Amino acid sequence: MKISIIGIGRVGSSTAFAIVNKALVEELVLIDMNKNLAEGEALDLLHASSFHKRTVIRAGDYEDITGSNIIIITAGAAQKPGETRLDLVLKNAKIIQEISQNIKKYAPNSIVINITNPVDVMSYVAWKTTGFESNRVIGTGTILDTARLRALIGYNCGISPMSIHAYIIGEHGDSELAVWSSAMIGGVPITNFCEDCPFEQKCNLQLEEIFEEVKNSAYKIIEKKGATNYGIASATAALAEAIIKNEGRVFTPSVLVDNVYIGYPAIINKDGIERIVNISLNEEENEKFEVSKNIIKEYIEKINI
C-alpha cells in the first residue's frame, strides 16, 4: 500500500505523521515545491517509524507518485486571519489544476483525497481536471466539522462522542449546517435525551451555541496559532484508513451531489465513495442546504473550469 502527499506544510506533515502512527502503508512519498522541506520531513518521519510499522518514507517528485493507491493533496495558499475559505478559491484553483494534471499522468488509478481549501470547490476542480470517476475524488468536506460537533456535544453531556450521531453538512465554511432533526445520542433523539437528563445540575445544552462554536472553530484556532492542522490530519488519516481497510464507514466528505462537491454523509470503502447516504432533512435544513450548495456553485462558475 502506497500513499503520496502533495504539499508538506503544517497540514501535510501532520497528516503524514498521523498516517505513520496508524501504520497504514508500506510506502509514503512526500512532495513539495520546497524539496528541502520535504526531505527534512521525510527523514524525521523515517526516524519515527522505528516506533511503528516498518515504512519506506521518502521525498520525491511527481514521477514518484506512480503506483500510489491514495494521493492526498494539501498544497495551496493557507487561510489567513480574517480570510474565509472561499477567499482562497482563485489562488488555489490553478495550483490544484496543475497537481491534478500530474496525478492523471502518473497515477491514473489512484484515489484522490483533497484537503486544500475551499475544499468543496477544489475537490470539484480536481475531479474535472483528472477526469476520474467521482467516487475516486474525495474532499475532506465536513468530516472535521462533524467530529467537532460530536466532541462538543459529548463534552457537554458527559458521554463519548462515539455514542453521538449528528452531522454537519454543506459547504466546509460559513454556510454549513447542523442536521439537528436527525441527531441522536445512543439512538435517542438529542432533544429527548436532554429532556430526560438525570443530572441535578443540567448542562442546559444550547444546540445552536454549540453549532456556532463548531462553525467558528477554525477562525479561532487560526487567530491563536496561525493554522489548523492536527484535527484535519486526524480526519484525513481516518478517511484513508477506511479506504485501505475497506471499512464501509460513514463520514461526511465532500462528494458529488447535483454536479457540485459538498459535505454530505457517504459510505467509504476500498473504491472510495461506495454510495451517498440520503438522510432526511426538515424544510428549514433543506433550504439551508440548497443555499450552501448554491454558494459553492457560484464560486465554481467564477473559476470557469
Q: Is 54 annotated as a binding residue?
A: no
Q: Is 8 annotated as a binding residue?
A: yes
Q: Is 73 annotated as a binding residue?
A: no
Residues in the chain: 305
Q: Is 206 annotated as a binding residue?
A: no
Q: Of the residues 106, 107, 136, 172, which is catalytic?
A: 172
Residue pair 76/122 in contact (Cβ under 8 Å)? The answer is yes
Q: Measuring CA to CA, which residue among 148, 88, 113 is closest to residue 261?
A: 113
Q: Which three cell numbers stand for residue 33?
A: 515545491
Q: Is 145 annotated as a binding residue?
A: yes
Q: Is 136 annotated as a binding residue?
A: no
Q: Which residue has the cell 440520503?
A: 278
One-letter amino acid of 172: H
Residue 200 burial by Cβ neighbours in a 10 Å radius (0-12, 13-18, 19+): exposed
Q: Is 58 annotated as a binding residue?
A: no
Q: Is 216 annotated as a binding residue?
A: no
Q: Is 304 annotated as a binding residue?
A: no
Q: Is 147 annotated as a binding residue?
A: yes
Q: Which three cell numbers stand for residue 155?
A: 463534552
How far apart are the C-alpha atoms of 198 and 211, rounded to whole Å?
24
- State yes or no: is 172 an active-site residue: yes
How far apart are the C-alpha atoms of 238 and 160, rounded to whole Å?
18
Residue pair 183/190 in contact (Cβ under 8 Å)? The answer is yes
**Residues comprising the binding site for NAD(+)?**
7-12, 32, 62, 76-77, 92, 115-117, 140
**Residues comprising the binding site for substrate?**
79, 85, 117-120, 145-148, 228
Query: Active-site residue numbers?
Result: 172
**Residues comprising the binding site?**
7-12, 32, 62, 76-77, 79, 85, 92, 115-120, 140, 145-148, 150, 165, 228
**Residues comprising the binding site for beta-D-fructose 1,6-bisphosphate?**
150, 165
